[in-house]
Structures are given as structure tokens and as C-alpha cells.
Amino acid sequence: MQRHFFNADEINISEFAALCSQTVSSQDYKFSVDIQQRVVIYEGEHIQALISTQQAFDLKSELHHCIKDGPGIVVVRQAFQDLKVIDRATEIFKEIIEEEKTSDQHRGDHFAKVGENERIWNALQKFCERDPEAFVAYYNNPVLRFISEAWLGPFYQLTSQVNIIKPGGQAQQPHRDYHLGFQDDAIVAEFPIASQIFSQLLTLQGAVAHTEMNTSAGPTLLLPFSQQYPLGYLAWRNPEFIDYFSQNAVQLPLKKGDAVFFSPALFHAGGNNTESSDRIANLLQVSSAFGKPMESVDRSKMTKLIYPLLLAGKQAKLFSPEETKSVCSSVVDGYSFPTNLDLDSPLAGSTPETVQGLIERALNEEWPIERFCEGLDEATKRRLA
């Protein structure tokens, strides 16, 4: 019988090295514009042009293949084409950090000494609350939604954390991310290997560059193909693996507005910032409808903040349906469950209406703001036991 449970003594550096030595064939990535250091690179504008075409599923397959069975990393050059949107968000992030510094609740970064780096937890909600208009302009980005759906399908939940690495900020230790990257080896070993592997398929890690990131600014070090090692969640703390990482990780310069997406199982680490200015990234963590996100977010509050803008935008024809849907996907919990099935019975189909569905109906019928907020409160209440 096949074994399903393993412990940290069973990791094997040669198996890991063999997987991490694979090469990338450009024939597998026909939509890409470049491959550098075994990282597949796409152009934001090009992805956007294909979203509503018959090639969309082929492109999604290619992106999914790259993250799961390929090197595990996708870079999108100019995922944001309007850099004013990025700069406005950066200003807002800096304001939030200044305020949080003087607040008792400031906790710093879990990888660095307080003062060396700055981090905004739940930056998604804080950004939305501080400036809903700038928030909508940032998250109405169909490229972000397309890549999230390529990895997770629809109904995902977005969270975001802002990371500012000060000049002199030190590199992180290589690690894997959420879910199992936050657990001790003994806990990881309690999960059957199938769960260790499927947990990787429930999250997408992303980072949007808010500053120019030459390699001297320390953009994330990434080890291509390392996500394919089945026992990786038991291996990333091991000195041999750390050594292999430091010899073989790659680091790609990013420009402001570029984004990188990777498997949470990929071995990675933020680099040293040896420049004289801050390195700023908006870290996106996208969670499958079938997983649990890492942060709690007041999504109803955010939905009420963006609805007036979406309604005005629709009436003034400011946003395409794709853009509207992209903002909504970034804000709402788009899945029907868990719910209270006594109160929230399925409609004509087989699932109760989602909040996304409610927003679409409200926008189509141009509900006034008050009516929408009442409708949302009722829908939220119906889902509670």
C-alpha cells in the first residue's frame, strides 16, 4: 500500500535538486513575451486584450500550467498600465503607516525587527476605507482577476498586505507560504501528503511593485520548480535546503506596475535592500472559494463603500463590465457557502444568490444606495445561523 504520511527526516536534497534543475521550454508558453532565468514573463496589455476572446481558456491553461507544473512563477510586466493609480495607492499606504506607527496596535513585520520594515496588515480594507475611489481605480484591473481565476477559478477571496523594506533591510529566510508554511514540522507531518499538495492549489501569492525594483533593491528571490517537491513543507527550514536555495534562487528586476505571481509552495525570500530608497510592494494573497483566507476582512463594509462609485461609474459609463466585475471580485466573498439554508434557500439554480450576484442585480436595476445597503444587510443576515 502506498504511504500517505511522512516526517521531516524523510526529505531528500537530491530529489529536490533534480526537480529544481528542470529547464523551461518557450514552446510551452506561446502567450509569453520572454523567459528570463527560467521565469516566464507576460505583458499586461497582451493578457488584457485576450480576456474576452476565444483564446482566454488557452491562456488560463498556460498560466495554470506554469504555476503548477512549470517553474511556478509568472511575471506580468505592466500589470498596471496607469502608474498614477499605483502612486496614489502608495501615498495612501504611507499615510496608513504613519498613523499606525503612533498607535498602540502596531505590530511590525513577522520577518523583521520593528523599524527595519513596515507592513500594513489587511491593507485591502484599510485602503478601501481611506479612499474608495482610489481603491476602485486600483482594483478594477481585469488582469489581476484573470490570473486569480486561472489559478483558482471564480469566487476567490482577495486579501492584501503592504510591505515596505527600508534601505539596509535584511533578506528573509527562504520559506513556503500559507497554509502549511505557517505550521511547525510536527503539525505538517499530521497532514496526509495529498492535503499538503492540495493546500498549495488553494492560494495564489502575488506582489505588485510600487517602486522600481532593481536587484539591488532586493525583489523576491525565487527558486524555480521548487513548488513541485512533494515534501517541501517539511523541508524549507532544513540547512541543506536553505543552502541550495541561496546557491540557485533567481531574482528578477521589476518596474513599477509589474506584478509577480507564484505558487505558495515555491521556496522564496525577500532580498536585501542595498539601495538608498524604500522598496514597496502590495502583496496579494488570493484564496480559493474552497479554502480559508489568512485574514478576516469586513467585506460588507467595503461593499457598501464601493457601491456608490460603481453605480455612478455605470451611469456615466466609466467602467467596462470586466472592470466592474474585477473590483467586485476583489471585495466580496463571492461564494454561496457557508450559509443558513433555512433562511437562504437556493433560487432558481442550485445555489443561493452570491453577494456578487446581488451587486450585479442592483447595478443592472440601478438600485439607489440605501436600497442596496438594505438588500446587502438582509443577505448578510440570511447567511447567519
> Given the complex with Fe ion, which of 122 and 324 has the nearer CB atom?
122
Residue 109 engages Fe ion in binding (rule: CB under 5 A):
no
> Given the complex with Fe ion, which of 177 and 333 has the nearer CB atom?
177
Return all residues near 259 (Cβ < 8 A) that are at least 6 apart.
44, 75, 76, 79, 80, 143, 144, 206, 207, 208, 209
> Given the complex with Fe ion, which of 90 and 285 has the nearer CB atom?
285
Pairing outcome for strands 268-269 and 157-165: unpaired
For 5-40, give the DSSP string.
---GGG--HHHHHHHHT----GGG-TT-SEEETTEE
Nearest CA-CA partner of 206 in 156, 137, 240: 156
Pairing outcome for strands 73-77 and 203-209: unpaired
In the numeric block, which cell numbers belong to residue 55?
Answer: 483564446
Binder to Fe ion among 43, 62, 177, 344 (CB under 5 A)? Answer: 177
> Given the complex with Fe ion, which of 121 and 372 has the nearer CB atom?
121
Report, in Å, the least distance between residue 177 CB and Fe ion.
Answer: 4
Which range touches Fe ion (CB under 5 A), out of 139-147, 170-178, 247-255, 375-383? 170-178
Q: Binders of Fe ion: how many residues, by CB under 5 A?
A: 1
Report, in Å, the least distance between residue 289 CB and Fe ion.
Answer: 22
Shortest-Cβ-distance residue relative to Fe ion = 177
- Annotate each residue in 124-163 with x if it binds Fe ion (CB under 5 A) or - if it does not, as one string: ----------------------------------------
> Given the complex with Fe ion, which of 285 and 288 has the nearer CB atom?
285
Residue whose grid cell is 512563477: 73
119 touches 109 (CB < 8 A): yes
Subset of 44-73 contacting Fe ion (CB under 5 A): none
Report, in Å, the least distance between residue 268 CB and Fe ion.
Answer: 6
Q: What are the strands, taking DSSP E only, across 193-304?
A: 203-209, 221-222, 250-251, 259-262, 268-269, 279-287
204, β-bridge pairs: 286
Nearest CA-CA partner of 249 in 48, 100, 72: 72
Which range touches Fe ion (CB under 5 A), out of 110-118, 172-180, 299-307, 314-322? 172-180
Report, in Å, the least distance between residue 175 CB and Fe ion.
Answer: 6
- Give contact residues for Fe ion (rule: CB under 5 A): 177
